[in-house]
Amino acid sequence: MKLDRTSFGKIFLLALAILTFVPAAGFSAGEAAGRRETVKVGIVGESDEEIWAPVVKKLAAGGIDVELINFSDYTLPNAALDAGEIDLNAFQHYNYLNNESKTHGYKLSAIGDTYLSAMCVYSKKIKSVKDLKQGDKIAIPNDAVNTGRALTVLQGAGVIKLKPVANRLYETTDIESNPLGIEIVPVDAAQVPSVLPDVAAGVINGNYALDFGLSPTKDSIFYDDLSFYTDRGYVNVIAVRTQDVENELYKKVVKAYQSEDVEKVYKEFFEGSYLPAWK
């Protein structure tokens, strides 16, 4: 059958349309069209950017762009997550998340475990907690959860003894015995490394110690220990708005994080600082 020019043109346009809209084998229509998705993740501290690097790379290859939003201190990422300014955050442990949600009314939940971060004692003036003198000052984080953990570490170090406490975090008023009359100096968690020259010692969160160039295994005068804790309250998490706990996109982010690649970063760059908690 001989086609006239008009018929041929119609067939050509139909074929072109089919080629345009049929996705490539093995890909969805959205992927065939180059559609990408973006997930904003709130973190605190430069060290977390290095930890997330293999996650960002892996997800980017699968069409998911992870945008890391680095906040200056612990008080900001949960507010941003609750307000919908970011999609996930990864900077806190269960105790901190639960306390923040209770205090501020946030509707946030953990969607996956990340690591346990060592919280050690550091000093610019002494080599051991045994060198502490009567009336010395020790700086600790001033937020409720990290205050409780810092006091737990100081008890583990034998500096103080705490009263038995049920169903709440330790506070400075729970110090039962303080033989050296140590003065506890609460400051913002991010500022503890900066005040080390002004105190005998400081209890520093793992990420802030790293950002300040301190090695938990080489520079601390007392190293944190898992035996000090009786539950998973201090295991760090990836948090999400509670309404999004079943979001499949966010689950992919968690899966990419809980990988051998991230564990390798822990071992190679943060010796003694982070232990994988998802295993």
Taking only the tens place, the pLDDT of each residue in 73-99 is 889 999 999 999 999 999 999 999 999
Q: How confident is the model at residue 2 (pLDDT cuts 50, 70, 90)?
A: very low
pLDDT at 227 over 90: no
CA distance 96 to 139: 19
The pTM of the full predicted model, rounded to 2 decimals, is: 0.70
In the chain, list all ranges with CATH 3.40.190.10: 34-117+233-276, 120-223
- Mean of the pLDDT values across residues 24-52? 74
Fold classified for 120-223? D-Maltodextrin-Binding Protein; domain 2 (3.40.190)
CATH class given for the domain over 34-117+233-276? alpha beta
pLDDT at 192: 98
- Mean of the pLDDT values across residues 200-226? 92
**CA Rg, the chain, in Å?**
25
- Between 269 and 18, where is the model more confident? 269
Range of lowest pLDDT (122-136, 171-185, 187-201, 209-223): 209-223
Could you tell me the CA-to-CA distances from 215 to 138, 210, 260 in Å, in that order?
Answer: 19, 6, 23
pLDDT digits (tens, 9 = 90+) for 56-80: 999 999 999 999 999 988 899 999 9
Considering the chain, what percentage of its residues have pLDDT values greater than 90? Answer: 72
- Mean of the pLDDT values across residues 232-247? 95
pLDDT at 169: 86
Write down the residue that tokens 């998911």 correspond to: 64
pLDDT digits (tens, 9 = 90+) for 91-123: 999 999 999 999 999 999 999 999 988 899 999
- Between 153 and 225, where is the model more confident? 153
pLDDT at 213 over 50: yes
pLDDT at 28 over 70: no
Query: Using H for helix, E for strand and C for coil, what is the string for the chain?
Result: CCCCHHHHHHHHHHHHHHHHHCCCCCCCHHHHCCCCEEEEEEEECCHHHHHHHHHHHHHHHCCEEEEEEEECCCCCHHHHHHCCCCCEEEEEEHHHHHHHHHHHCCCEEEEEEEEEECCEEECCCCCCHHHCCCCCEEEEECCHHHHHHHHHHHHHCCCCEECCCCCCCCCHHHEEECCCCCEEEEECHHHCHHHHHHCCEEEECHHHHHHCCCCHHHHCCECCCHHHCCCCCCEEEEEEEHHHCCCHHHHHHHHHHCCHHHHHHHHHHCCCCEEECCC
Q: How confident is the model at residue 8 (pLDDT cuts 50, 70, 90)?
A: very low
Q: Identify any residues that bridge with 177 across adjacent strands, giving them in sequence order.
A: 161
Write down the residue that tokens 């990864």 correspond to: 90
Considering the chain, what percentage of its residues have pLDDT values greater than 70? Answer: 88
pLDDT at 140: 98
CA distance 162 to 143: 18
> Buried b / exposed e across 31-43, counting CB within 10 Å, b at 16+?
eeeeeeeebbbbb
Average pLDDT score over the chain: 88
- Mean of the pLDDT values across residues 170-182? 97
Could you tell me the CA-to-CA distances from 90 to 23, 43, 114, 161 in Å, in that order?
Answer: 36, 5, 8, 32
pLDDT at 32 over 80: no
pLDDT digits (tens, 9 = 90+) for 40-54: 999 998 889 999 999
pLDDT digits (tens, 9 = 90+) for 181-193: 999 999 999 999 9
Q: Do 252 and 64 form a contact (C-beta atoms < 8 A)?
A: yes
pLDDT at 34: 67
- Between 33 and 130, where is the model more confident? 130
